[in-house]
Structure 1
């Protein structure tokens, strides 16, 4: 087993996409009767490494039956076109609002270029490859993906993004949650369990919808959740209630700076850091402020951007 792969119960596997850094983004897959279902794809660069790893595990690309996207943010869906191109028998399942972005990614790509510039966008994600619309299946609330002898229930999961779904695998009693049930890095796990926090990245953070999504996940009483950032967590009820609390705390922080238009985003970022570091020390994480800030630098920046965007949109 390659050191990029972790294996779990019920034939669930995690591939470390090595996007941004180690233990940051995961590609999960299920191997059932030598057939494969993949959840999220990371970027084109990650997808190339993932394909090679499958082949090194003697898994044929023809055996891939499903590629399921939790949402179309490019750290989750950037490699979908390449995987579909290389896996001729696969179908791509995505939220109805995400279908057009997979079939014609021009608008999605233009949005990324507007943020990063073309050169940096290609460095980060590689060129997006369109998917044949005849191979794309729109899946939403209440639908079921039947994969070999497994049933995977689809739930709409807005709050992080309007085009977000979560997938409940009945066999393992596990959810694949994308960004809808927070982020929990292994480096921040100790004897007290996972350190988990909300992802409020731009541009569709909606606290009321996020609250409902987390409660919906908790209602199913899953044994485990598999997060894209990063992989398996336990203590689902405890973590869920912490996430619900954090949604309110994120909103409070945003309201505290909403009337001060100077450096609003930076003020939110600083307050998020203070909030999360205080929580880290409360659960006895042995990590300095500098180490904590470095580990969460991208998340803090993106979360602050998303909260500022939500606040400005709400104020119009």
Structure 2
């Protein structure tokens, strides 16, 4: 059974947001921080908004000071309209280019349906946020929350540093600690992907020397700089492995795509724990591994001049 909230450190709770899809019971989480300003980070999809509001009430959170969106993919921000209605005096912080999509989310929803299909339908549709409630991240004062642009997984992604704690969205990849020990780390590089941009974002975070990192998927890790550097090396390793073992590829070539995923699973040590995931989680991960390979294929494809 997935708990309502997990206190991972004093004043820091991870709130699992179960979605009715195999492998998604503990894959999406919101973060609630109460050790300083009361912060809610990435409230998740609209299908879980009522659950999140119930858990926040149980935690005694009546009015967050800020709702921080690392990016507006619907697994992270699809429920922001419901949260904005529940907390009408709380600013919603996002990338400046994301503001218009929160005010009028129709195109965001249509794009989500085109990319994710039934997964998007299970996440639920996106309700708008009042324009007056939105605060562009580049206007946020540095203290006590520092907003750091970290494009890569999404062009509109920000990370947030609070004291020594980094809320990184997917700038550091997807990180899963296995209950019996071991660690699984993978890139989240859907098209359009540009390796140099991802590496620059990681370098920007490493320079801040955070001590702890909170991932959008799935938990908190100490030694944040170690894990950021490990992911940096992984992104470069994938570039080599895909170029040497898979070729440029085509997104519509299903057999080549599966072979490339198998090649990465066999040769990337940070994916070595994949066989120890349960069957539903492995299937979910293959879905996202395929999407990440497509990002690399898009990046490596010859560009027209």
Quickly say closer, same or farther: Cα 1:159–1:86, change in 2 above 3 A.
Answer: same
Aligned to 1:178: 169
Aligned to 2:92: 92
The offset of 1:152, in angstroms, is 1.0
Q: Cα RMSD between the aligned structures? A: 2.9
Aligned to 1:166: 159
Quickly say closer, same or farther: Cα 1:281–1:245, change in 2 above 3 A.
Answer: closer
Instruction: Select the residue among 118, 122, 125 that pairs with 1:127.
Output: 125
Could you tell me which runs of 5 or more consecutive residues in structure 1 were left unpaired when the two chains were aligned.
none
CA deviation string 1:84-124 (max 9, x = no partner): 0111221100011111110111111121233355xx36632
Instruction: Select the residue among 209, 214, 225 that pairs with 2:213.
Output: 225
The offset of 1:281, in angstroms, is 8.4
Aligned to 1:104: 104
The answer (yes or no) to whether the contact 1:67–1:90 under 8 Å persists in 2 is yes
After TM superposition, list the pairs within 5 Å mapping 1:1-316 onto structure 2: 3-19=3-19, 20=21, 21-32=24-35, 36-60=38-62, 63-116=63-116, 120=118, 123-140=121-138, 143-144=140-141, 151-170=144-163, 173-187=164-178, 190=181, 194-201=183-190, 203-256=191-244, 257-258=246-247, 261=250, 264=253, 266-280=255-269, 285=273, 287=275, 291=279, 293-294=282-283, 296-312=285-301, 314=303
Give the TM-score, by structure 1 length.
Answer: 0.83
Give the TM-score, by structure 2 length.
Answer: 0.86
What SS does the aligned partner of 1:76 have?
A: helix
The offset of 1:290, in angstroms, is 8.4
Quickly say closer, same or farther: Cα 1:75–1:32, change in 2 above 3 A.
Answer: same
Task: Output the CA distance in 1 between the equivalents of 2:179 and 2:239.
Answer: 24
Task: Output the CA distance in 2 between the equivalents of 1:86 and 1:97.
Answer: 24
Quickly say closer, same or farther: Cα 1:312–1:278, change in 2 above 3 A.
Answer: closer
The offset of 1:230, in angstroms, is 0.5
Number of paired residues?
299
Task: Output the CA distance in 2 between the equivalents of 1:136 and 1:22.
Answer: 30
The answer (yes or no) to whether the contact 1:44–1:128 under 8 Å persists in 2 is yes
The offset of 1:263, in angstroms, is 5.2
The offset of 1:28, in angstroms, is 0.3
Task: Output the CA distance in 1 between the equivalents of 2:159 and 2:187.
Answer: 16
What SS does the aligned partner of 2:65 have?
A: strand
Quickly say closer, same or farther: Cα 1:310–1:47, change in 2 above 3 A.
Answer: farther
Quickly say closer, same or farther: Cα 1:163–1:259, change in 2 above 3 A.
Answer: closer
The answer (yes or no) to whether the contact 1:26–1:229 under 8 Å persists in 2 is yes
What SS does the aligned partner of 1:22 have?
A: coil
